[in-house]
Amino acid sequence: MYLFVAVRDDRHVPVPAGSAQPQIGDAVQVFVSTTSARAAAAASTFTIHQSADGQTVVTGGNSGGAAARARVERQNDTGTTYYRLAIPRTLTGSEFLVNLRVRDSDEPGVLEQFADWKPGLNASATSLDPARWFRAALISTGTRQNP
């Protein structure tokens, strides 16, 4: 599964390098669940952010031997931050539920605001209701051919 999120923000706040707390800067969180059970343990949460040294950091998820890949790019001239995330099919299965949260901090350590794609997340994202999220299915169209 590939996700691309473009965020317009007047002030980009990266997470200090080496910090284990991605919630203290601008970030995108992606929630994936293979069940509609109402429990935080039922979902994998991926947090994507940029560290102060410009490195992309992706944390969380249940790797199961496969890792999610991510990239964050900031375009200061347009005030836009681009978040890209690739989650291997081995982590999602062919049918799953997905939600997204964009976090905005205008100074390190202070969450200014957040925006959820769908309902089903509480403010701290510790109580999740995947039954309210988007239902997604990955389909195969056969052998992939390059043009």
pLDDT tens per residue, range 46-79:
889 998 888 998 888 754 546 788 999 999 999 9
CA distance 61 to 70: 13
Reading the block at residue 102, the tokens are 């964009």
Q: Which domain CATH number covers 53?
A: 2.60.40.1190
143 domain residue, yes or no: no
Confidence of residue 82 (pLDDT cuts 50, 70, 90): very high
By the 10 Å C-beta count (0-12 exposed, 13-18 middle, 19+ buried), 38 is classed as: middle
127 domain residue, yes or no: yes
127 vs 97 pLDDT, higher one: 97
In this structure, the number of other CB atoms found within 10 A of the CB of residue 45 comes to 19
40 domain residue, yes or no: yes
97 domain residue, yes or no: yes
60 vs 83 pLDDT, higher one: 83
Domain count, the chain: 1
Is the pLDDT at 81 greater than 90? The verdict is yes
pTM, to two decimals: 0.81
What domain range includes position 43? 2-137
Mean per-residue pLDDT, 77-97? 86
Is the pLDDT at 128 greater than 70? The verdict is yes
CA distance 44 to 41: 8
CA distance 47 to 70: 10
Nearest to 19 by CA among 60, 45, 44, 50: 50
112 domain residue, yes or no: yes
145 domain residue, yes or no: no
pLDDT at 100: 92
CA distance 95 to 34: 7
